[in-house]
Chains A and B, each alone.
Chain A
Amino acid sequence: MNLEDLYRLLRNGHVEAQGIIDTVPDPLLVLDQNLCVRTASRAFFTFFKVDRDETIGQHIYDLGDRQWDIPELRRLLEEVIPKSTAVVDYEVEHDFPSIGRRTMLVSARRLFHPDNNSRTLLLSIVDATERRQHEAEKDVLLGELRHRMKNLLGLVQAIARQTTAAGRSGEEYRDAFLGRFNALVQAHEAAYAQEGEADLQEVLERTLEPYSAGPTGVLVESGPAVPLASKQIMTLSLILHELATNAIKYGALSIPEGQVRVRWAVAEASAPHLRLVWQESGGPAVAPPASSGFGTQLIEFAVSRELGGRVELNYQPAGLVVEIVAPLGSVS
């Protein structure tokens, strides 16, 4: 083997070694025992926007306007590494002049050498900024999900606690509770299934569909289009469930001949108002209840708090007439 062959062999070896380093996508630095840069990878130059001449041979702290002179990194290199063979994913958060604030995971390993205990270090730098942001966003999302779940459980607790138990059998309580629970589930479904809005007609028909079988039952008359927000859909579904349950127990839906007509109009006065009427007929003679139960309170509360309107329950001899008047548009 002549000198030229030997040179070519060595050169090929070197080119291949450098090629391996330059192929690794994360920035790499090889530091000598004095923490001066012996080699840097292509990824290092591109990522930190520096060139070869201002990097090789420099002390790591002097690199790029001393942007690597970071207290955390100093501690890592001067205190942690001498006592251990490798440090993996040491988190360094720093404002880099060229690329802004970043979270870097720095790993340092003694360079492997078969003969001796090398004091050369291989430093790899992984930019974890985006990963950290994703993790933070995920945490926020999970927190919000947890919050909503607990809120939903709070709603279930509220109806469980307020559904009358006194004077009822276990079965009766269970049925009354599950009736409201299902209304809550359906109201939730209706409100959030189709992102955003639904029309009043659609909400009425869907919610009252179980009671609308046959010629009698609930009849939803046609009316003007009224777009509803998810919160309003939820509230209205719960109100309708209370009205229907009440009609089945005491009102027009307690006998086959009874009927409920639901109609509405929009009054374009100074501010548009919805006027929704639930009218029962053909049922047994009705009288106002002695005390207002949770159902009635729920309706009154829901209309005033959630819809910002008012409700009147008229126990007329021919049947209950419920009139809900609520402003449109500005409802929260």
Chain B
Amino acid sequence: MRKTVLIVEDEFLIAMDLKLLLERSGWYVLGPAATVEEALELLDDELPAVALLDVTLRDGSVTRLAEALCERNVPFVVASAYSRPELIGGEILAGAPTVGKPTEERLLIAVLEKAVRS
């Protein structure tokens, strides 16, 4: 199966970095999406194996997208500078694996791969 990851991040340099480093590690990247709307549209075309989410996006909190991912059984990993993303993005983010920001490359890949396996 193709390792696909949807990247949702509104800071363009960080979005680029994540995209390039994941592509180098053999992932096929959907996005990066900078808004919830954009990400939801991408989901209509193709469901990724996993999604990597920033918590606050240009059109608000990622909550609605996280709910949509849950409904479609797509696991997600949170990459945020907030130490407790659920305080900003709501309960739907509680318990989701987090990789923090700045994001360490090896940790990111390990957590994504684990999320896809589980």
B105 at the interface (CB under 8 A from A): yes
A213 at the interface (CB under 8 A from B): no
**Binding site of A, secondary structure by majority: helix, strand, loop or mixed?**
helix
Inter-subunit contact A158/B105 (CB<8 Å)? no
Inter-subunit contact B82/A154 (CB<8 Å)? no
Chain B residues contacting A148 (CB-CB under 8 Å) are 81
A258 to B54, CA, bound (A): 44
Inter-subunit contact B12/A305 (CB<8 Å)? yes
Inter-subunit contact A153/B16 (CB<8 Å)? no
A33 at the interface (CB under 8 A from B): no
Inter-subunit contact B15/A305 (CB<8 Å)? yes
A235 to B11, CA, bound (A): 10
A235 to B12, CA, bound (A): 9
Inter-subunit contact B11/A154 (CB<8 Å)? yes
Binds B, one of A23-31, A104-112, A198-206, A296-304: A296-304
Inter-subunit contact B103/A298 (CB<8 Å)? no
Chain A residues contacting B15 (CB-CB under 8 Å) are 301, 305
B70 at the interface (CB under 8 A from A): no
CB 8 Å contact bits of A264-284 with B (1 = contact, 0 = none): 000000000000000000000
Contact of A157 among B20, B32, B83, B103 (CB under 8 A): B103
A309 to chain B, nearest CB (A): 13
B8 at the interface (CB under 8 A from A): no
Which B-chain residue is minimally distant from A238 (CB atoms)? Answer: B13
A190 to chain B, nearest CB (A): 16
Inter-subunit contact B13/A298 (CB<8 Å)? yes
Inter-subunit contact B20/A162 (CB<8 Å)? yes
Interface size on A, residues (CB 8 A): 26
Inter-subunit contact A150/B17 (CB<8 Å)? no
Chain A residues contacting B11 (CB-CB under 8 Å) are 151, 154-155
Inter-subunit contact A306/B105 (CB<8 Å)? no
Contact of B12 among A153, A156, A306 (CB under 8 A): A306
B18 to chain A, nearest CB (A): 8
Chain B residues contacting A297 (CB-CB under 8 Å) are 16, 20
Inter-subunit contact B12/A154 (CB<8 Å)? no
Inter-subunit contact A158/B101 (CB<8 Å)? no
B95 at the interface (CB under 8 A from A): no
Inter-subunit contact A158/B82 (CB<8 Å)? no
Chain A residues contacting B107 (CB-CB under 8 Å) are none
B13 to chain A, nearest CB (A): 5
Chain A residues contacting B52 (CB-CB under 8 Å) are none
Inter-subunit contact B81/A161 (CB<8 Å)? no
* CB-CB under 8 A for A158 and B16, given A151-B81, A153-B102: yes
Chain B residues contacting A155 (CB-CB under 8 Å) are 11, 13-14
A301 to B103, CA, bound (A): 20
Inter-subunit contact B16/A157 (CB<8 Å)? no
B3 at the interface (CB under 8 A from A): no
B67 to chain A, nearest CB (A): 23
User: Which of A146, A159, A301 has most chain B Cβ within 10 Å?
Assistant: A301
Chain A residues contacting B17 (CB-CB under 8 Å) are 157-159, 161-162
B44 to chain A, nearest CB (A): 20
Which residue numbers of A lie inside 8 Å of B, CB to CB?
Answer: 143, 146-151, 153-159, 161-162, 235, 238, 294, 297-298, 301-302, 305-306, 332
Which residue numbers of B lie inside 8 Å of A, CB to CB?
Answer: 11-17, 20-21, 32, 34, 58, 81-83, 100-103, 105
Chosen A-B contacts, 26 in total, with CB atoms closer than 8 Å, are A143-B82, A146-B81, A148-B81, A150-B81, A150-B101, A153-B101, A154-B81, A154-B101, A154-B102, A155-B11, A155-B13, A155-B14, A156-B102, A157-B17, A157-B103, A158-B13, A161-B17, A161-B21, A235-B12, A238-B13, A294-B20, A297-B16, A301-B16, A305-B12, A305-B32, A332-B58
Q: List 18 extra interface pairs beyond A154-B81, A155-B13, CB under 8 A.
A: A143-B82, A149-B81, A150-B81, A150-B100, A150-B102, A151-B11, A154-B102, A156-B102, A157-B17, A158-B13, A158-B17, A161-B17, A161-B105, A297-B16, A301-B12, A302-B12, A306-B12, A332-B58
